[in-house]
Amino acid sequence: MSLTRPLVILLLLALLGFLALQRCAGERPQQLSRSRILMGTVVEISASSADPGRLEAAVTDAFAEMTRIEGLMRPAGEGSDVARLTVSEQGTEVAPETAEVIALGLQVAAASGGAFDMGLGRLKALWGIETETPRVPAPPEIRQALAGAGLGDLRLDGRRVEKAQPALAVDLGAIAKGYAVDRAVEVLRRAGIESAAVNAGGNIRLIGDHGGRPWRIAIQHPREAAGQLAVLELVDTSVSTSGDYERFFEQDGVRYHHILDPRTGYPAGRCQSVTVVTASAALADALSTAAFVLGPEEGLALLQRFPATEGLIVAADGTRHASPGLEARLTWR
């Protein structure tokens, strides 16, 4: 007995050591990053989990969900609610997801006094900023393209969307990417993923933190291609940036970009970039576009009307404006 006791202890120690190793191996999170082109931009999903098999499946499912949302909300194509709405005379019934996006968009439209407008499809097509042949339209063309747009251009009754004017073309370009990010996050969460970042062209949503520390999100400098404006330390939230440097063309020394002011029909001139931090990526997406149109003062005031929503605005003259609640999480570069 006395001889075997050390042996038993040794065996027990070895077993404990083995179990501890197993635990470490089992709990060491695996990381996976995948990117795809979706909704006209690069979408990147980075996720970590202790279970590599689950990780791969979850990321694949998240991309599939984003592809499904893109199918519903892209401007044209079979199965697109937006395409059906645009060709309809008075409106049509849409999928619950599309109705949810339009409901949120209408809220932002109302809160922003119409600066956010989902009825600018004709105006967007007229400028052609995201095409090979953009051009500055003549004022009468702009007036015509704006006909029917404005507060009240769209109404939602359950799943039915009503258009104020048959000619109105719906465009969810300022909100659909954020919504798709929210859906991807939902899929990842349901699969048990506790740490992830989903980024669709500057519409980012974060699950949890990054290895026990906040995620560090660098915000692009609007006038220095390789430069950073600021770094934000964020946990379990969304951040979206809208800028005049993303999609634009220049003519006679003037920059014409893709965020349009519904009051004038021209690209909004008050900001270089707007970053919004809030819980949902769809709301961050819509608010960053809306605040961009409104400019620094009214833009930050708009953000205050939404719970736990913060922002960072670079005005047209390059001055920087941050909401007070963001200062603690912000390092200027």
Name which position in 62, 69, 197, 259 contacts ligand ADP (CB under 6 A): 259
153 binds, among Mg ion, ligand ADP, none (CB under 5 to 8 A by kind): none
Q: Single out the residue of 311, 244, 294 nearest to residue 272, CA to CA.
A: 244
C-beta of 229 vs 286, nearer to Mg ion: 286
Both structure tokens of 143:
């007036």
CB 117, min distance to ligand ADP, A: 4
Both structure tokens of 303:
């953000």
Quote the CA–CA distance of 2 and 11 in Å, as a whole number: 15
202 binds ligand ADP, rule: CB under 6 A: yes
CB 316, min distance to ligand ADP, A: 16
Quote the CA–CA distance of 47 and 81 in Å, as a whole number: 31
Number of residues in contact with ligand ADP under rule CB under 6 A: 23
Asked if 274 and 292 count as a contact pair (C-beta separation under 8 A), the reply is: yes
Name which position in 285, 299, 311, 314 contacts ligand ADP (CB under 6 A): 285
E strand or H helix at 160: strand 160-163
To 10 degrees, the CA torsion angle through 157, 160, 162, 168?
Answer: 140
Q: Which residue has the tokens 């999480």?
A: 329
280 binds ligand ADP, rule: CB under 6 A: no
E strand or H helix at 180: helix 176-190
119 binds ligand ADP, rule: CB under 6 A: no
CA distances from 38 to 11, 63, 300 (A): 55, 9, 30
The residue range among 2-10, 172-180, 211-219, 317-325 that interacts with ligand ADP, by the rule CB under 6 A, is 172-180
C-beta of 48 vs 220, nearer to ligand ADP: 220
Residue 326, helix vs strand vs coil:
helix
Quote the CA–CA distance of 184 and 176 in Å, as a whole number: 12
E strand or H helix at 139: helix 139-146
CB 269, min distance to ligand ADP, A: 12
Region label for 148, one of left (φ > 0), alpha (ψ between -120 and 50) or beta (otherwise): left
Name which position in 48, 149, 199, 201 contacts ligand ADP (CB under 6 A): 201
CB 110, min distance to ligand ADP, A: 13
Name which position in 171, 182, 244, 310 contacts ligand ADP (CB under 6 A): 171
Name which position in 260, 291, 326, 330 contacts ligand ADP (CB under 6 A): 260
Quote the CA–CA distance of 326 and 146 in Å, as a whole number: 36
What's the first-to-final CA gap in the chain, in angstroms? Answer: 70
120 binds ligand ADP, rule: CB under 6 A: yes
- Which residues of the shown chain bind Mg ion in the complex (CB under 5 A)? 174, 285, 288-289
Q: Which of residues 18-77 bind ligand ADP (CB under 6 A)?
A: none
C-beta of 91 vs 311, nearer to Mg ion: 311
C-beta of 117 vs 182, nearer to ligand ADP: 117
To 10 degrees, the CA torsion angle through 121, 122, 128, 134?
Answer: -150
The residue range among 60-68, 145-153, 155-163, 170-178 that interacts with ligand ADP, by the rule CB under 6 A, is 170-178
173 binds ligand ADP, rule: CB under 6 A: yes
Q: Which chain residues interact with ligand ADP by CB under 6 A?
A: 115-118, 120, 124, 171, 173-174, 177, 201-202, 242, 246-247, 258-260, 262, 285, 288-289, 293
